[in-house]
Amino acid sequence: MQMINAFEGASAAQSLPTDLKERIARRSRLLGPAYRLFYREPLHIVRGAGVWLYDVQGRKYLDAYNNVPVVGHCHQEVVAALTNQAAILNTHTRYVHDAVLNYAENLLQHFPQELSHVMFTCTGSEANDLGMRIAKHSTGGTGFVVSSFAYHGATEAVSALSPSLGYNLGPAPAHVRLVPPPDAYRGSSDVGQAFAAGVKAAVDDLAKHGHRVAGLLFDTVFSSDGILTHPIGMIDAAVDVVRAAGGLYMADEVQAGFARTGETFWGFQRHGRIPDIVSMGKPMGNGHPIAGLVMRPDIVAGFAKASRYFNTFGGNPVSSQVAQAVLTVIERDGLQAQVTQVGAYLVQRLKQLATRNECIGDVRGAGLYIGVDMVKDRQSKTPSPQIADAVVNGLRERGVLISACGAGANVLKIRPPLVFENKHVDILLDTLDETLASVAN
Amino acid sequence: MQMINAFEGASAAQSLPTDLKERIARRSRLLGPAYRLFYREPLHIVRGAGVWLYDVQGRKYLDAYNNVPVVGHCHQEVVAALTNQAAILNTHTRYVHDAVLNYAENLLQHFPQELSHVMFTCTGSEANDLGMRIAKHSTGGTGFVVSSFAYHGATEAVSALSPSLGYNLGPAPAHVRLVPPPDAYRGSSDVGQAFAAGVKAAVDDLAKHGHRVAGLLFDTVFSSDGILTHPIGMIDAAVDVVRAAGGLYMADEVQAGFARTGETFWGFQRHGRIPDIVSMGKPMGNGHPIAGLVMRPDIVAGFAKASRYFNTFGGNPVSSQVAQAVLTVIERDGLQAQVTQVGAYLVQRLKQLATRNECIGDVRGAGLYIGVDMVKDRQSKTPSPQIADAVVNGLRERGVLISACGAGANVLKIRPPLVFENKHVDILLDTLDETLASVAN
Q: Please check whether residues A260 and A408 belong to one and the same domain.
A: no
Contact A180, A167 (CB under 8 A): no
Are B68 and B86 in a shared domain?
Answer: no
In a domain, B185, yes or no: yes
Q: How confident is the model at residue A242 (pLDDT cuts 50, 70, 90)?
A: very high
pLDDT above 90 covers a percentage of chain A that reads 93
* Whether residue A359 sits in one domain with residue A239: no
Q: pLDDT tier at B419 (50, 70, 90 boundaries)?
A: very high
Task: Look at residue B240 and tell me if it is in a domain.
Answer: yes
DSSP tally for chain A: helices H, then strands E: 12, 15
H-helix segments, B259-384 = 297-306, 317-332, 335-355
Is the confidence at residue A170, as pLDDT, over 70?
no
Last residue of a domain, one of B303, B332, B361: B332
Inspect the interface and report whether the beta carbons of A287 and B318 lie closer than 8 Å.
Answer: yes
Give pLDDT, residue A166. Answer: 84
Q: Which residues of B touch A60 (CB under 8 A)?
A: none
Over residues B354-401, the pLDDT tens digits come to 999 999 999 999 999 999 999 999 999 999 999 999 999 999 999 999
pLDDT digits (tens, 9 = 90+) for B20-78: 999 999 999 999 999 999 999 999 999 999 999 999 999 999 999 999 999 999 999 99
Q: Which of A95, A281, A307 is opposite residue B38, by nearest beta carbon?
A: A95
To the nearest 5 percent, what fractions of chain A are helix, strand and coil?
40, 20, 40
B288, closest residue in chain A (CA to CA): A313
Does B250 lie in the same domain as B226? yes
Per-residue pLDDT, A175: 97
Residue in chain A nearest B297 by alpha carbon: A32
Count structural domains, chain A. 3
- The full DSSP string for A49-69 is EBTEEEETTS-EEEESS--SS
Shared-domain flag, residues A339 and A328: no
Q: Which of B46, B108, B132 sits opposite A89 (nearest CB)?
A: B46
Average pLDDT over residues A229-246: 98
Sign of CA dihedral A190, A196, A200, A203: positive
Selecting from A45, A122, A301 the residue whose C-beta is nearest the C-beta of B123 gives A122
Q: Residue B10: its pLDDT value, please?
A: 64
d(CA A323, CA A86) in angstroms, rounded, equals 13
**B326 and B380 co-located in one domain:** no
The most confident of A7-16, A235-244, A431-440, by mean pLDDT: A235-244
Helix axes B422-440, B335-355, angle to 10 degrees: 30
**Considering the domain boundaries, does residue B261 fall inside one?**
yes
- In a domain, residue B127? The reply is yes
Q: Is the pLDDT of residue B154 over 80?
A: yes
- In this prediction, residue A61 has a pLDDT band, given cuts at 50, 70 and 90, of very high
Residues A63 and A6 both lie in one domain: no
- Best mutation site among B155, B159, B277 for testing chain A: the one with the most A CBs within 10 Å? B155
User: Are the beta carbons of B94 and A37 separated by less than 8 Å?
Assistant: yes
A89 CB neighbours in chain B (<8 A) are 45-48, 53, 73-74
State how far residue A180 is from chain B, nearest Cα, in angstroms.
23
Residue of chain B with shortest Cα separation from A166: B307
Decide if B96 and A6 are in contact by the 8 Å CB cutoff. Answer: no
- pLDDT-derived band at B1, boundaries 50, 70, 90: low
How do B176-179 and B213-219 pair as beta strands?
Answer: unpaired
Name the residue facing A30 among B76, B88, B104 (closest C-beta).
B104
Q: pTM of the prediction? A: 0.97
Interface confidence, given as ipTM, is 0.97
Residue B158: its pLDDT value, please? 97
How many other CB atoms are found less than 10 A from the CB of residue B305?
11
Mean pLDDT of the region A363-368? 98
Q: Are residues B177 and B254 both part of a single domain? A: yes
B11 — pLDDT class (breaks 50, 70, 90) = low
In this predicted structure, what is the pLDDT of residue A13?
67
What length does chain A have?
441
pLDDT tens digits for A296-325?
Answer: 999 999 899 888 899 999 999 999 999 999
- Tell whether B440 is covered by a domain: no
Q: What's the CATH number where A375 sits?
A: 3.90.1150.10
- pLDDT more than 70, % of chain A: 98
Q: Is residue B17 part of a domain?
A: no
In a domain, B24, yes or no: no
Q: Note the pLDDT of residue B8.
A: 83
- Torsion angle of C-alpha atoms A426, A429, A434, A436, degrees rounded to 10: 180
User: Whole-number mean pLDDT of chain A?
Assistant: 96
Which chain A residues are within 8 Å of B45, Cβ to Cβ? 89, 91, 95-97
Interface test with A, best of B94, B100, B162 (most A CBs within 10 A): B94
Are A5 and A57 members of one domain? no
Are A66 and A215 part of one and the same domain? no
Whether the pLDDT of residue B416 is over 60: the answer is yes
Tell the burial category of A298 from Cβ atoms under 10 Å away from its Cβ (0-12, 13-18, 19+): exposed
| Number of cross-chain residue pairs from A and B with Cβ atoms under 8 Å apart | 324
Does the pLDDT of residue B169 top 60, yes or no?
no
Single-letter amino acid code for the residue at A27: R
What pLDDT score was predicted for residue A117? 98
C-beta of residue B172 within 8 angstroms of C-beta of residue B178: yes
Nearest CB among B23, B53, B130 relative to A96 is that of: B23
CB-based contact A158:A255 (threshold 8 Å): no
- Whether residues A411 and A352 share a domain: the answer is yes
Contact A159 B83 (CB under 8 A): no
Sign of CA dihedral A336, A337, A342, A343: positive
- Looking at residue A1, its pLDDT comes to 63
**Interface probe with B: pick from A132, A313, A392, most Cβ of B within 10 Å:** A313
The pLDDT tens digits for A373-391 are 999 999 999 999 999 999 9
- Among the partner-chain residues B301, B306, B313, the one whose CB lies closest to the CB of A169 is B306
> Domain with A193 in it: what CATH number?
3.40.640.10
B150 and B255 belong to one structural domain: yes
In the Cβ-directed half-sphere of A43, how many Cα atoms lie within 13 Å? 30
Choose from B30, B78, B106, B392 for mutation: most chain A CBs within 10 A. Answer: B30
- What pLDDT is stored for residue B337 in this prediction? 98
B21: Cα separation from own chain's centroid: 30
pLDDT at A9: 73
HSE-CB at A107 with a 13 A cutoff on CA atoms is: 36
Is the model's pLDDT at B2 over the cut of 90? no
Residue A6: CB partners within 8 Å, gap ≥ 6?
A36, A37, A38, B308
**CA B230, B234, B239 angle in degrees (round to 5)?**
145
3-class state of residue A175 by DSSP: coil
The pLDDT value given to residue B363: 98
Instruction: Give, as one character, the DSSP assignment of residue B216.
Output: E
pLDDT digits (tens, 9 = 90+) for A204-217: 999 999 999 999 99
User: Closest to A289 (Cβ–Cβ): which among B3, B46, B313?
Assistant: B313
B-interface mutation test, from A39, A63, A110, A312, most B Cβ less than 10 A away: A312
Which residue range forms the structural domain that includes residue A223? 76-332
A14 HSE (CA, 13 A, CB side): 2
B381 found inside a domain? yes
Residues A186-195 have pLDDT tens digits of 998 899 999 9
**pLDDT (tens digit, 9 = 90+) per residue, B280-290?**
999 999 999 99
Q: What's the average model confidence in pLDDT over A269-292?
A: 98
Q: Provide, as residue numbers in chain A, all residues whose Cβ is less than 8 Å from the Cβ of B47.
A: 88-89
Structure confidence at residue B119 (pLDDT): 98
Q: What is the pLDDT of residues A15-38, one digit of tens each?
A: 899 999 999 999 999 999 999 999
